[in-house]
Amino acid sequence: MEGAYKALIEGGNSGFAALLGGWRLTGGSFYYLGDYGYYWSATESGGSHAWSYHFFRSLGHLLRLGDDKAVGFSCRCVQGAPSNGID
């Protein structure tokens, strides 16, 4: 998904500027800051997993994978999105 990567990365033409913030392990350590960006989707892929999007700068690609919810990825807050009742 090279085209999606280029459109969604900072400087792209989608209106969303994905920053490459790496990810956090359950112990609190951060990895790959500036090289990879990991973003949660709102969709589960199993009881303890959810779909996420992985931005790989070195490859110029975007992948969707199922990941353990215990790790720390970035999320995108969307203004005007439907409320879940928690404001």
> What single string gives the DSSP state of each residue in 41-57?
EEEEEETTEEEEEEEET
Q: Is the pLDDT of residue 35 over 70?
A: yes
| Per-domain boundaries in the chain | 2-68
Rounded average pLDDT over 31-37: 94
- Extended strands (E) in 1-87: 23-24, 30-31, 36-46, 49-56, 61-68
Q: Is the pLDDT of residue 72 over 80?
A: yes
For residue 58, give the 3-state DSSP assignment: coil
Task: Report residue 87's pLDDT band, with 50, 70 and 90 as the boundaries.
Answer: very low
